[in-house]
Structure 1
């Protein structure tokens, strides 16, 4: 019986050849995307602002909540587009609620302001169903009417024109005596007609301002009343359709020209005014 040579198995030269095979790294598992917290907060702010926007006065807070909601909603929307969060629809809904809260608040405040303005006009006897401008009490030439119409379209009427509830004419502005502090003054004379259906004074219908060097002048107070000055004329009432004269004194800064502006008192349409610049003599 022959002996066959059996080839010896190779002996590993180093125990490192028997090290266990290292496990292959597994690909990272996709993380669960959570709904953005900004989106949830934006919905809360937007919904609360929307509810409060219908309540007068309180809706000032609603506008603030709406602005905060819009900012948070924008942050949430940006996060969803970058793929870091989910809840795109929630963020868009939050943005819509917040914008509605702002829009409704502005609309409600505008309506409330108009209601207050109409109430003030009605208390003075001004017809709110017509435009704020009334018919002129005096007659003028065709050229004057054309000029007045052009100035009225721009909101400014030179020397004479209509404001809410009254027709006003700035008659003159001249230097007068010193006031009780010894400061120089100017005496401004106004003529006005009550175009309302109730008794009113110049003070309740008109708001006169006098400017010099771009700043408003203070009303003068006299120890000795100058000639032509009537301290009570500003508050004296006139019946509907009646014309009256008002004189007011103003403390001057220097001898430079002054600009007289007359607008309607407590009116939202402050662009409509009667104005003129006088060189004092």
Structure 2
């Protein structure tokens, strides 16, 4: 009789004890998987997802344990730490991989990866260093660029009015390169980028091959590109480095077409 009473009391205490948190167990599984995958580029995109889901579950588990409804507070804390680590490591690895890829592409083109673009000296150099914008002429990664002119030109194949922009650039890399492989020229009108013009008859001064023509290191060449106009309002020419992660360094100038 006494043995039965003791067994019954044990069952009652066991029934009154909070169960271990399921969310915490799932969170620690997600956190562990995320941490392992976070070191592998590309695949670690999944690690970030695992880490985020696991972190949410870990928070739910922690709330439950602090309220006394579930046991496993230490488990939940460990799960939260693993999930946060998986997210942080994923971001760090992706950043490092992106920079390594960027440097590899630049090196294949002969661009000095330690080079930092600076102003050409035309105008206030301290302002150029702060904003990264250089008026009319300046340096971008791998090239020195000068925006020579932007003038209304002939109609494109569709009969639309165009503007012909002339660039002068110097190859500052150690290999043969074209303007198209180093620079990203754009023209904006009314805040919108303009489409490249395609001509059935080349207007005066237009060289269709200049954009893709390669030049040797240290050589200077002229490039002409046509853009389809929206109207006759001013246009802003904007040139940045093609493979740069810093679009703040640019050469810009606004031209009045009137």
Per the alignment, residue 237 of structure 1 pairs with: 214
Give structure 1 stretches of 5+ with no counterpart. 1-27
Deviation at 1:135, TM superposition (A): 8.3
More helix by share: 2
* Among 11, 28, 41, the residue aligned to 1:43: 28
Q: Distance in 2 between matches of 1:161 and 1:153?
A: 14
Q: Distance in 1 between matches of 2:213 and 2:101?
A: 25
Give structure 2 stretches of 5+ with no counterpart. 1-11
Higher alpha-carbon Rg: 1
Contact 1:134/1:195, CA 8 A, preserved across alignment: no
Q: TM-score, normalised by structure 2?
A: 0.92
- 1:54 partnered with 2:31: no
Q: Distance in 2 between matches of 1:71 and 1:183?
A: 55
Per the alignment, residue 181 of structure 2 pairs with: 204
- 1:65 partnered with 2:50: yes
SS in 2 for 1:61: helix
Instruction: For residues 154-209 of structure 1, give each alpha carbon's deviation from its aligned partner in whole angstroms, at most 9, with x where no partner exists.
Output: 12111111110001111110100111111000000001110000000000000001
Per the alignment, residue 131 of structure 1 pairs with: 115
Deviation at 1:255, TM superposition (A): 0.5
Please list, as runs of the form range in 1=range in 2, the aligned pairs for 1:9-48 lying within 5 A after superposition.
Answer: 31-48=16-33
Per the alignment, residue 3 of structure 2 pairs with: none
Per the alignment, residue 25 of structure 1 pairs with: none
Q: Distance in 1 between matches of 2:119 and 2:172?
A: 8
In the superposition, relative to structure 1, how do residues 173 and 152 fare at CA in structure 2: closer, same or farther (>3 Å)?
farther
Q: TM-score, normalised by structure 1?
A: 0.84
Deviation at 1:118, TM superposition (A): 0.4
Contact 1:79/1:85, CA 8 A, preserved across alignment: yes
Q: Distance in 2 between matches of 1:125 and 1:277?
A: 31
SS in 2 for 1:191: strand
Per the alignment, residue 202 of structure 2 pairs with: 225
Per the alignment, residue 63 of structure 2 pairs with: 78
